[in-house]
Amino acid sequence: MLQLAEIFYSIQGEGLWSGTPAVFVRLAGCNLACDFCDTDYALKFMASVPEVVHRVRDIGGDCPMVILTGGEPLAQAETLDLIDALQHDGRRVHIESNGTVFTELPPDVWLCVSPKERVDPRMAKRANEAKLIVDGRVPEEHLPLFQDQSTILLQPEGNKRPNVELALAYAKTHPKRFRISLQTHKLIGVQ
Ligand code: SF4
């Protein structure tokens, strides 16, 4: 059984797919405890893989994009079964991960890695999208692990003004490789 926090239908507010309708499956639990974390990933309910697939179908209809997030979605072994079942149901699976749990993912799974205190280099290399959280500083120590990514996203923590200005200044100084990622869902008041 999967441990879950919530399943809801909204839009992807962040990153390269910003603005795209998506069903979010938030798995419960995280293997890190970041100071700035504002995500409620506490266990709310358990469900089997088929039950989650049905729930996604019920609320998302034929929405192609399903985002597995957390907490840390790769911390549960059954997540791989869920990916497989969702793909068989015709979904495009995206994963939002902190990149600490090495997992062999199918090649057509979109992996967004947002490194926090540490990251597994193999997951950094696998990432389709690298998203650094700017919280008082740009965490440049992670950059050597993301040599394969031509674009690095800088996301100001909490959309806070000082973090926005820091990220903006950094992106303008390194315009060929860095972009700002804003939490646009918060700006428009959706989940
Ligand atoms: S890795 Fe993400 S979900 Fe986990 S504690 Fe840090 S910010 Fe929160």
Q: Quick check: is 34 catalytic?
A: yes
pLDDT digits (tens, 9 = 90+) for 167-189: 999 999 999 999 999 999 999 99
Residues of the chain whose pLDDT is less than 70? none
From 30, 36, 118, give the residue whose CB has the most ligand 1 atoms within 8 Å, as the site to mutate. 30
**For the whole model, what pTM was predicted?**
0.96
Q: Which long-range contacts (CB under 8 A, 24 or more apart) does 79-87 make?
A: 79/2, 79/27, 79/103, 81/49, 82/2, 82/25, 82/49, 82/52, 82/53, 83/109, 85/49, 85/50, 85/52, 85/53, 86/53, 86/56
Q: Is 30 in the pocket of ligand 1 (CB under 6 A)?
A: yes
pLDDT value at residue 76? 97
Q: Is 101 in the pocket of ligand 1 (CB under 6 A)?
A: no
pLDDT value at residue 112? 98
CA-CA distance, 3 to 35, in Å (whole number)? 23
pLDDT value at residue 74? 98
pLDDT value at residue 35? 86
pLDDT digits (tens, 9 = 90+) for 127-143: 999 999 999 999 999 99
CA-CA distance, 190 to 173, in Å (whole number)? 32
Nearest atom, ligand 1, residue 133 CA? 7
Q: Quick check: is 120 catalytic?
A: no
Domain coverage including residue 99: 2-187
Q: How many domains does the chain have?
A: 1
pLDDT value at residue 185? 93
Nearest atom, ligand 1, residue 98 CA? 1
Please pick, among 69, 72, 94, 96, the residue that the annotation labels catalytic.
Answer: 96
CATH number at residue 101: 3.20.20.70
Q: Quick check: is 37 catalytic?
A: yes
pLDDT value at residue 36? 83
